[in-house]
């Protein structure tokens, strides 16, 4: 896609970001990079807004308690699906706070409870620590733990970027060793679904589109994954038998083609899959809703498709 196809607000935002002086996140100490992401949320993302419940809890994990956060537009609800969110940030950045506005918005739009998982981050906890936490927390939530105060009838894993990678891996893990309740659908958002392969979009959008080749190299160095392990590269496994899948990508994104390839692999495997591409925007747009308000329409379109997959009213 050529440069004129960028949305005007996206062009303005990128011009601003690319002109900022100083070091890039991947050139900073880890603590400073993480703090910068926190600051950017309050500059570029939408407010959290009103919800009946925003409540912290913990799941038992392989290396100790895993922090979680529950979002629900209703104070009480009957048995039903639970959405489980894994944040992006290259397995290095991000936490419960950086993606809170998006989780709250999805809880409202879907009218379902959402639980975000605060998995261990690299480089302090390299591969496979984070994905082990994600799988363990999701299994625990499937059992309707008393702390959740909700009866879970099915799971909907979702996440962005590195969290999209976790979404697919969790779904594969629960396909092969089912949890207490089934996975009803999955929603990987601009996912790192095939990180071992260099697709054309990686070269086309390698610089100046927020996510860069420099940052991706830094993420990989910090995460230190085993490139032959499917828990890093989920397309190393067949996708047959996965639940209905919604893949959402951004057109001007260096990992756009990974999402396209994943949707194609699902279709070839006989998975019920829907593919949506947000035209004229960039990686990270779900957490830039103040700076890029057109992203609200992209999110709403995806939510409508996901509701249809789950047999919910629009």
The residues that are catalytic are 161, 253, 283
Dig out the tokens for 140 from the structure: 């625990």
How many of the other CB atoms lie within 10 Å of CB of 101? 21
65-74 residues labelled b (16+ CB within 10 A) or e (exposed): ebbbbbbbbe
How many of the other CB atoms lie within 10 Å of CB of 92? 25
Task: In whole angstroms, give the CA distance from residue 44 to residue 34.
Answer: 15
Polymer length of the chain = 314
DSSP state for residue 132 in the 8-state scheme: H
Phi, psi of 179 (to 5 degrees): -85, -175
Using an 8 Å Cβ cutoff, are 81 and 184 in contact? Answer: yes
Peptide bond into 152 cis (omega under 30): no
Looking at the DSSP bridge assignments, the partners of residue 53 are 72
- Alpha-carbon radius of gyration of the chain: 18
Peptide bond into 123 cis (omega under 30): yes
Furthest CA-CA distance within the chain: 53
């Amino acid at each position: 896609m050529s440069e004129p196809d960028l949305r005007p607000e996206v062009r303005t935002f990128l011009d601003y970001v690319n002109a900022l002086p100083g070091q890039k996140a991947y050139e900073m100490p880890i603590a400073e990079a993480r703090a910068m992401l926190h600051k950017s949320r309050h500059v570029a993302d939408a407010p959290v807004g009103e919800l009946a419940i925003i409540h912290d809890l913990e799941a038992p994990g392989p290396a100790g308690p895993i922090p979680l956060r529950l979002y629900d537009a209703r104070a009480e609800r009957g048995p039903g699906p639970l959405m489980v969110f894994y944040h992006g940030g290259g397995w290095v950045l991000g936490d419960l706070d950086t993606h809170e506005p998006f989780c709250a918005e999805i809880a409202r739009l879907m009218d379902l409870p959402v639980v975000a998982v605060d998995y261990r981050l690299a480089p302090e906890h390299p591969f496979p620590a984070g994905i082990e936490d994600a799988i363990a927390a999701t299994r625990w939530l499937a059992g309707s733990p008393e702390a959740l105060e909700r009866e879970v009838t099915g799971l909907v894993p979702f996440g962005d970027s590195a969290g999209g990678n976790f979404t697919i891996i969790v779904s594969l893990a629960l396909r092969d060793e089912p949890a207490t309740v089934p996975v009803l659908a999955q929603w990987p958002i601009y996912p790192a679904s095939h990180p071992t392969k260099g697709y054309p979009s990686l070269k086309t959008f390698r610089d100046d589109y927020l996510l860069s080749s420099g940052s991706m190299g830094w993420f990989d160095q910090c995460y230190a994954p085993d490139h032959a392990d499917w828990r890093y590269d989920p397309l190393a496994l067949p996708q047959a038998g996965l639940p209905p899948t919604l893949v959402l990508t951004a057109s001007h994104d260096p990992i756009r083609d990974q999402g396209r390839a994943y949707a194609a692999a699902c279709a070839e495997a006989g998975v019920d899959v829907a593919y949506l591409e947000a035209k004229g925007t960039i990686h990270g747009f779900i957490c830039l809703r103040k700076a890029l308000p057109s992203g609200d329409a992209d999110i709403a379109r995806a939510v409508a498709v996901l509701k249809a997959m789950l047999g919910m009213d629009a």
